[in-house]
Structure 1
């Protein structure tokens, strides 16, 4: 702690040189401190936008841009997309119930996409599940160019609709929910590939990865998800909280994850089904699969279903879980501990262990005829691999760049501070 505070002092001492905003950002990155977390950390710079009751008033979504909006308790709202005739398009909607709200087991968010003639392109629903604990959940809309689909292939205007699944369900509160929306586009492949999903892949359940757990703290949202590599990772989670992690999975690689919740020392009793929920989302933030872990105060574990290796042709599968494993990139692990756990076992924190196995050698992708929006979202770069190995969140890297750029030629004191800071950043999760 003394060394870390010393680094903060060095960075703060450079305020006059690099500017107070950069120094504050740097100090926050080093110390790991900040304001009390809310239920979800929205992407920095997300644009505010209103959903329209009528498509005539629907505001446009630009691919590659993140938006913040609001979902009323009843009725559907709409947004507008302009698409070409060759790219696949995905719109992910993350719904964030307000703190203190209640939800039914089947309540959730429904997202569907239609063309300008009302033809359905896709429908997706994500629910809160048996624990009935409000937390951030995401569903996606898709416009896919596929030989097997005759609809939604034309260039033109498309509409994204969002609504609650069960706003009038028993125990559901009528509060509006915050929304985070992001639209993405995927260019076509250079060469026509397979038109059916691979029929043979290793579907055996591997043993959970073993070894000593290394501490790695989860992020508060998709944009700030903490990078994870293959390994055994430990984190603290409190009832009602949701933690986000990002695992780079390349073409041809297979992901398997087991989540464990340690025993409680509170002496409490009871049982809560689905107390720990671990959900997997793909790089377009479409849900792939999830697992609920019941809790009675003793140590419990659960594994995600066995999933196929990442393959461009998976999108042709009839099974949704297989179809969602359609591109390389960062796959998100989202862990939520139900609020009701506190009633029986206290406020915690509770120790959660994630055993992350990424198997198989990375392979060449399909070769895209153009750039995705956002750029690189369906790819695994060397920087992604380094971030996963080091556990350095994007915000930390941004702070480091801000101070480094602003401090060029400012003296050895700042350089020494940054050098120590870099070491601490790499080791902070093991402290």
Structure 2
């Protein structure tokens, strides 16, 4: 935190002599440069670790801490958790192939959790989609405490196994992928709740929001996702680029999202299946749902499937995307434009519009006993709502935003900069 304040202080001290930042430079700071899309932005404080080939050498993951590691083209790598007998635990793994790598149709990521006796607690897979475009994808592992379960309920060591879905690398580049790992814990509730998912919810898709779109620059990773609230938002996206946003969704609220991709300005012919992929992840960075939008140069649109209101009891649902809507907090929207779009329609940028609707009144959540780790990750705070309304990103591009106020004088710039920093600091302390 001290280092970040120092950087902002230097920036603020020079704002009076700096011209406002043009849109192209602002986009480079948050969403990549015009020449080359920005790579994935790992959490600033991510600790570098090595995945073990044997569980006997697996590095311990501390809940609430971000880690950076790598995944070879073949074989498993393992990490370790130490869990009690009362808390739910979640581990999200984000795989980041290099932009120049090749991925096959069946290539993807698999994450599983086992206890110390080799019993499987959960497994999950994620793939790159029909466009075969390399980009960040995430899968999660879970150890859940439940009166209906008999396995994986004890205190002890648990192991997170990560591997590629296509271990032989058929049609894929043999290079290793970068990984970002984050473990989280969710405390038990004071009373045992229902053991089945809510039976009735409004599954009708509402009309997409209308109105003029407001520009919001997407972030380059989960840790720097740009906050959005209900509204119509626009951003530029280039082939091969992935943009991250987060939307606070409280207990009892429903999230509906439609993505529009504007027509090409450079002409061209052809068709790219799944050109624009929009994926939704829950506050534990677990996959919820996604939609792929094919592109032929004309404007296209696609919506996420209907999702239930956020409810603690959703975890008992048989359908995975319902079960993933199990806690309040920041839900992540991750948009990727396939790099093959360049072949037919040029480098862009292409205009993307996100229509975000959050319906329903927020209500009280479950009576948790204890705190989650990290603290506040499964709730929506006033600071979260303020950040979503103002679009203040949680990443280091805050400094770039402060530079943009250079033409209004040092004193005013200082006040504006400190105000922005205060919102970010409060949001981080709450999360």
Q: Over residues 17-55 of structure 1, what are the superposed CA-to-partner deviations in whole Å (9 max), with x where a residue is unaligned?
A: x85673148879984464856320000010000000000
Q: How far has the Cα of 1:414 moved from its partner? A: 4.8
| In 1, Cα distance between equivalents of 2:375 and 2:13 | 26
Q: How far has the Cα of 1:205 moved from its partner? A: 1.1
1:93 and 1:140 in contact (8 A); partners too: yes
Q: How far has the Cα of 1:265 moved from its partner? A: 1.5
| In 2, Cα distance between equivalents of 1:212 and 1:287 | 30
Q: Residue 23 of structure 1 corresponds to which residue in structure 2? A: 10
Q: Residue 263 of structure 1 corresponds to which residue in structure 2? A: 263
| In 2, Cα distance between equivalents of 1:55 and 1:302 | 42
1:47 and 1:68 in contact (8 A); partners too: yes
DSSP-derived class of the 2:179 partner:
strand
Q: Residue 418 of structure 1 corresponds to which residue in structure 2? A: 414
Q: Which moved more, 1:165-174 or 1:148-157?
A: 165-174
Q: Residue 285 of structure 1 corresponds to which residue in structure 2? A: 285
The 5 Å alignment of 1:13-412 reads 22-24=9-11, 31=21, 32=26, 34=29, 36=33, 38-395=38-395
Gaps in structure 2 of 5+ consecutive residues: 404-408, 422-431
DSSP-derived class of the 2:318 partner:
coil
1:257 and 1:355 in contact (8 A); partners too: yes
| In 2, Cα distance between equivalents of 1:73 and 1:243 | 25
TM-score, with normalisation over the residues of structure 2? 0.88
How has the CA–CA distance of structure 1 residues 342 and 399 changed in structure 2, closer, same or farther, with 3 Å as cutoff? closer
Q: How far has the Cα of 1:146 moved from its partner? A: 1.0
| In 2, Cα distance between equivalents of 1:144 and 1:26 | 50
| In 2, Cα distance between equivalents of 1:294 and 1:23 | 45
DSSP-derived class of the 1:386 partner:
helix
In angstroms, what is the RMSD of aligned CA positions?
2.4
| In 2, Cα distance between equivalents of 1:27 and 1:277 | 40
| In 1, Cα distance between equivalents of 2:411 and 2:161 | 51
| In 2, Cα distance between equivalents of 1:197 and 1:160 | 27
Q: How far has the Cα of 1:419 moved from its partner? A: 3.1
How has the CA–CA distance of structure 1 residues 297 and 183 changed in structure 2, closer, same or farther, with 3 Å as cutoff? same
| In 1, Cα distance between equivalents of 2:136 and 2:359 | 29
Gaps in structure 1 of 5+ consecutive residues: 1-17, 404-412, 426-431
| In 1, Cα distance between equivalents of 2:283 and 2:14 | 30
1:167 and 1:173 in contact (8 A); partners too: no
DSSP-derived class of the 1:314 partner:
helix
2:133 and 2:339 in contact (8 A); partners too: yes
Q: How far has the Cα of 1:416 moved from its partner? A: 2.3
| In 2, Cα distance between equivalents of 1:415 and 1:119 | 61
How has the CA–CA distance of structure 1 residues 27 and 80 changed in structure 2, closer, same or farther, with 3 Å as cutoff? farther
Q: How far has the Cα of 1:398 moved from its partner? A: 7.0
Q: Over residues 187-233 of structure 1, what are the superposed CA-to-partner deviations in whole Å (9 max), with x where a residue is unaligned?
A: 00122111110000001111111111000010000000000000000
How has the CA–CA distance of structure 1 residues 396 and 221 changed in structure 2, closer, same or farther, with 3 Å as cutoff? closer
Q: How far has the Cα of 1:424 moved from its partner? A: 9.3
Q: How far has the Cα of 1:76 moved from its partner? A: 0.4
